[in-house]
Chain A
Amino acid sequence: MRVLLVEDSDRLRHLIATALRRSGFAVDVACDGMTGLRSAENNDYDVIVLDLMLPALDGLSLLQRLRAAGRESHVLVVTARDTVEDRVRGLEAGADDYLIKPFALEELLARVQALARRRHGAKSPVVAVGDLRVDTSRRSVSRGGRTIDLTAREYALLEYLAVRQGAVVSRTEIEAHIYDDRVEPMSNVVDAAVYALRRKIDVPGAPSLIRTRRGMGYVLSAEPE
């Protein structure tokens, strides 16, 4: 899942981005409203974590312009403004959730995770593909009761395919949602990641859960072809 973090405090931006990346999110950062708006307009983020009091362009204006442009990314407002009026104003401007500083890290991660799930229509934290279980809240994967250890990048790829199970996911989409601006994906980086993931989640002798659609992308499905 790819997240845009728009926060003007250097220290907070660094800490939140670190926490999100370590939790498996691909994170882009922006330190002011205008930069954040440009990033949001140019990329399809699953979640945008947005501070309200921003230089250049305040968070509410950014949100309004984003919604006016038809962008459907889920937005989590993170701000020190705590009055009911502020919260209502933020939600009315198009925010999906509101978190007041200071906040617990786990709560931030859980809210970002929930928003990312909802972006793809999933409400349950556990996504099942056949006997494969992807627990998005605990960030754990198991198949047939056996726990599977994945790297953060592998987990992010599996989670993205799982929430869109049955649908063809292009390499471009995978790159856009799994890799942030800091990584310049090579042409075969997605294929390599899918290959590594197959080796960990597939059961010997059984058909792979991740199928390749030549020229189109990948499909995660337990249904036979």
Chain B
Amino acid sequence: MANIPAPVGELLGKALVGELTVIDAQGRPVTYPLIPLWDGERVYMTSSSLFSRKLEHIRANPKVSLSITDPVAVDGRTDRATIQGDARIIEDDPHGGWERLLPIWEQKEPSIVYFLKARVALPLFFERALIEITPRRVLYWSDGDPASAPAVTVVGEEAA
């Protein structure tokens, strides 16, 4: 379904951290650094119940964006992207439902497996909801420079 530009898919695959922006009750953007997990079709992120304010915002307004801006987090790449999309919260099983994404997560943060084995030490951190983002529009800066206009791609059903 998704046809986001290939370099953006590569950025998503590499990024150790991206900036998820949600919209609060006052209509302001609120930005949270999170690990983006890209399965080739949708972007996933997970949120601990401890830090679940973002989930409240998404429930009230599912329009979100995810930006990849930090060269340090993408192995030195200087291109940047912002993906606008619709978010859905998946929380059927906060205790273990999110673990289906563990293989992708582990590739970016190997220590998570160690911490999960010791979940008794921080049980609420591992009670997590999934945030599934369906991309709608992608802004891509091939040189990462805001002086250049981004290439804009409409994706998904809107593109059809």
- Do A and B pair up? The answer is no
B residues sitting closer than 8 Å to A (CB atoms) are none
